[in-house]
Chain A
């Protein structure tokens, strides 16, 4: 059996629909997970009572349980607890919570490079701890933490393929769905691997542009 390009051309519209869903779910989850990361890191660094313990527990839980178990918990478990989400939003919630835990650590790592001196300077100008965080620490931490935040975002993008397990018709779902009908395994998996690769490269490119901009103050 030889590689059948004509078959792929025929399946192209379906693959593009899957790709579009993958892009939507991933982009939304990346943005939300970074938000979770910044807020969670703020809670940790500012040592907000009670909340900081919750954040530690959350991060440990996510890091020490399988993503698939988390996904099934959200999709099958939450309705039992009275929270019914659509397929799409179950997917977004799962990826956001998963990546958010890692982003908290990434932002925290960046925050460690923001010295005590800047904190004291900000305080001595009358800024509150929260304003210091927003205006000084977070922007600096994001610059330093960008490479690790990119890694987490790439993992998120790749892990979006797990969402096929709950039946969200993203890229991997489309591929598996077609394979079960047409048995064109090689063509389909080759195609989606190339597409994922292109997505990751695009994401890396965008991040490097952002890094270049954020680094402007530090270039002579």
Chain B
């Protein structure tokens, strides 16, 4: 392998009380690649993705971002690295008391020291890209779920992160608006944004993932390019999971 991966996890483990949610996970994310995490509910996908930016603190293991080690036991180290790695949540989590524009400028201003005028200019450009320039001065409550999620994505982008984590970004959305959010994400992928995405949208995974990682019970069961993983899964667990979602998909879409 040539360059070091942008994100590298080694032996990341996390326990909640007596429950071992993650058993020594190793994962590399190359710069410019899209990694999609799939797996049954409770398999540890959210815990893993949160361990990458310290919303969940791993108990042990090593994490490197852009070549630098992150001291996983120090909050300050996490705070520094979080400006480099953005995150998008299932429930959008826009700040409800701030306008769309202010949601996007407040952290670049306070955390990166970008002057207000410049931050606003950049925010408006990002909003234009996702078709929401006309919503800049609205409050989040005036936006649909899909619109809020697109704002959440460009809010993360406004920090100019090196990578973005997505934890089920379309799971809370109405079916009609899922497409608009996936389109934005596909766009980012085409531009070479490094992304780690937890999702049940297999179509999205097939189309844009460089690698798909299947997790079960806190372990990575298998991983590979989407064609290989969806076309010829090697493990029984993977096959069972994929057929369960396919039949679910057929039930939903007829």
- Give which listed residue, A117, A127, A136, A139, contacts B111 with CB less than 8 A: A127
Cβ–Cβ < 8 Å partners of B96 in chain A: 140, 217-218
Cβ–Cβ < 8 Å partners of A69 in chain B: none
Nearest chain-A residue to B78 (Cβ)? Answer: A123
Do B97 and A127 touch (CB < 8 A)? no
- Give which listed residue, A118, A127, A139, A220, contacts B107 with CB less than 8 A: A127
Nearest chain-B residue to A129 (Cβ)? Answer: B75
Cβ–Cβ < 8 Å partners of A217 in chain B: 96-99, 139-141
Asked whether any CB of chain A lies closer than 8 Å to the CB of B83, the reply is yes
Complex CA gap A156/B87 in Å reads 44
Given the known A-B contacts A125-B86, A127-B110, A220-B142, are A139 and B97 also in contact in the complex, defined by CB atoms under 8 Å?
A: yes
Interface string of A121-134 (1 = CB under 8 A from B): 11111111001000
Do B111 and A220 touch (CB < 8 A)? no
Asked whether any CB of chain B lies closer than 8 Å to the CB of A87, the reply is no
- Give which listed residue, A123, A131, A218, contacts B55 with CB less than 8 A: A123
Interface string of B140-163 (1 = CB under 8 A from A): 111000000000100110010000
Cβ–Cβ < 8 Å partners of B97 in chain A: 136, 139-140, 143, 214, 217
Interface string of A194-220 (1 = CB under 8 A from B): 000000000000000000001011111
How many chain A residues touch B (CB < 8 A): the figure is 23
- Give which listed residue, B54, B86, B141, contacts A220 with CB less than 8 A: B141
Interface hub of A122, A124, A214, A219 (most chain B Cβ within 10 A): A124
Complex CA gap A126/B141 in Å reads 24
Give B52-110 interface residues, CB cut-off 8 Å to A.
53-55, 79-80, 82-83, 85-87, 89, 91, 93-99, 106-107, 110
- Give which listed residue, A118, A143, A216, contacts B95 with CB less than 8 A: A118
Nearest chain-B residue to A120 (Cβ)? Answer: B55
Nearest chain-B residue to A136 (Cβ)? Answer: B95
Do B139 and A126 touch (CB < 8 A)? no
Do B141 and A123 touch (CB < 8 A)? no
Do A120 and B89 touch (CB < 8 A)? yes
Given the known A-B contacts A120-B55, A218-B141, are A125 and B89 also in contact in the complex, defined by CB atoms under 8 Å?
A: no
- Give which listed residue, A126, A128, A131, A214, contacts B159 with CB less than 8 A: A126
Do B55 and A126 touch (CB < 8 A)? no
Complex CA gap A41/B195 in Å reads 37
Nearest chain-B residue to A118 (Cβ)? Answer: B93
The distance from the CB of A132 to the nearest CB of chain B, in whole angstroms, is 10
Given the known A-B contacts A127-B107, A128-B79, A217-B97, are A121 and B89 also in contact in the complex, defined by CB atoms under 8 Å?
A: yes
Cβ–Cβ < 8 Å partners of B165 in chain A: 124
Do A135 and B106 touch (CB < 8 A)? yes
- Give which listed residue, B79, B99, B142, contacts A126 with CB less than 8 A: B79
Interface hub of A122, A126, A131 (most chain B Cβ within 10 A): A126
Interface residues of A (CB under 8 A from B): 117-118, 120-128, 131, 135-136, 139-140, 143, 214, 216-220
Interface residues of B (CB under 8 A from A): 53-55, 79-80, 82-83, 85-87, 89, 91, 93-99, 106-107, 110-111, 139-142, 152, 155-156, 159, 165
8 more contacts with CB within 8 A, not counting A124-B156, A127-B111, A218-B141, are: A120-B55, A125-B111, A125-B155, A126-B159, A135-B106, A135-B110, A139-B97, A219-B141
Some 9 contacts from A to B, beta carbons below 8 A apart, are A124-B82, A124-B86, A125-B111, A125-B155, A126-B107, A126-B111, A126-B159, A140-B97, A217-B97
